[in-house]
Amino acid sequence: RKYIEKAYCQAKDKRIIIINQDYQHEEIIARFAEPLFVVKPDKGNGWWKVKTVRDNPHSSFENRKDLPQSWAGKRDAELAKITGVPTAIFCHRKLFIIIAKSKKGAIELAKKAVANNN
């Protein structure tokens, strides 16, 4: 819990919270008003993910902000072309998670998602 709160406090842009370990973050991050996306490692495979933040992570599938609609269900070269991020490899069709091969790529995707007006 303290690690997640520290990551929030240290975030330059409170809309994007970067966590350097694959911790459960949903309940803690939902307490803060600003976060839209969390960037974190993807299960020890070296990849990174961007997850949407939900106000109620246990009973709602409503994201505070969806990933861009044009990314839905895309993968590999097609997703990299659409996003402009070469390391992007998969976006869920429900727009709540996107995977990149690098931390830098995941952060770039999160920034693009924040700026997007769907």
List, for residues 55-103, the tens digit of each pLDDT value. Answer: 887 777 889 999 999 999 999 999 999 999 999 999 999 999 999 999 9
Q: Where are the domains of the chain?
A: 2-115
Q: Which two tokens stand for residue 2?
A: 């303290």
Q: How do residues 9-64 score in pLDDT, each as one tens digit?
A: 999 999 999 999 888 889 999 999 999 999 999 987 899 999 999 988 777 788 99
Give the model's pLDDT for residue 84. Answer: 98
- The whole-angstrom separation of Cα 45 and Cα 31 is 29
CA 28 vs. chain centroid, Å, equals: 15
Q: How many residues does the chain have?
A: 118
Residues 6+ apart with CB under 8 A from 35: 8, 14, 15, 16, 17, 29, 53, 64
pTM score of the predicted model: 0.94
Q: Are 88 and 98 in contact (CB under 8 A)?
A: yes
